[in-house]
Chain A
Amino acid sequence: QVQLVQSGAEVKKPGASVTVSCKASGYTFAIYGINWVRQAPGQGLEWMGWISPYNGNTHYPQKLQGRVTMTTDTSTSTAYMELKSLRSDDTALYYCARDRSGDETFDYWGQGTLVTVSS
């Protein structure tokens, strides 16, 4: 069965960077894109970007350009999301979600990783 298992919670200071991992299993990793979505406490969903494990192509929203980097390692079926120059408003639950290619929806989600930014 398809599973996306994310790395554990992180606590970071403002200005630091964080990397969240998302290990996929149960399907051919290379042929499905991975999206990252975050949710601030008590807030809605915010799309952070998409990566194709097949060729490394990415799309990021303008708001996060320059601060977010998404990568994948096909040898371990793992996707990574690095966010730099952390601020307090980056405190959120971060999710990876598989892109159901051709339907442009997110069919499987990781369990979420809480990133807390606090001095």
Chain B
Amino acid sequence: DIVMTQTPLSSPVTLGQPASISCRSSQSLAHSDGNTYLSWLQQRPGQPPRVLIYKISKRFSGVPDRFSGSGAGTDFTLKISRVEAEDVAIYYCMQGTQFPFTFGGGTKVEIK
């Protein structure tokens, strides 16, 4: 199984400042079809997760452009350019390249 490791566990951020979350996979997420199926999900308190980013860097419909994804192979990053109060949540990376799909352990973004 592909192990997804996220850092940091927690990220206290000042409103309006950037935040960055890293995700590393135990093997390359590049699929034989040429795509890399790495997604980022946001889970606000008491809510189901929702997808923010898929295929490394594609923003899902309705997601603010302050969220961006980057990376390749085994190393990926989610960036929030200017954190807003509504961004307080746990963020998960997820790989869909190979069964079983697997998630990172989560990173909690909170306001300082």
Which A residues are closer than 8 A to B by beta carbons? 35, 37, 44-47, 50, 59-62, 95, 97, 100, 103-107, 109-112
Contacts and interface: CB of A to CB of B under 8 A. Distances in A.
B55 A103 contact: yes
**How big is chain B's contact interface, by range?**
20 to 34
Given A47-B100, A47-B103, A95 B51 contact: no
B100 A44 contact: no
Most chain A beta-carbon contacts within 10 A, residue among B37, B55, B100: B100
14 contacts: A44-B104, A45-B41, A45-B103, A50-B101, A59-B99, A61-B1, A95-B48, A103-B58, A103-B96, A105-B37, A105-B60, A106-B39, A106-B51, A107-B60
Q: Give chain A's interface secondary structure class.
A: strand
B108 to A, nearest CB: 11
A46 B49 CA distance: 12
Given A106-B41, A109-B48, A35 B101 contact: yes
Given A44-B92, A47-B102, A47-B103, A103 B48 contact: no
Contacts of B41: 45, 106
A109 B60 CA distance: 14
Nearest to A46: B103
B100 to A, nearest CB: 4
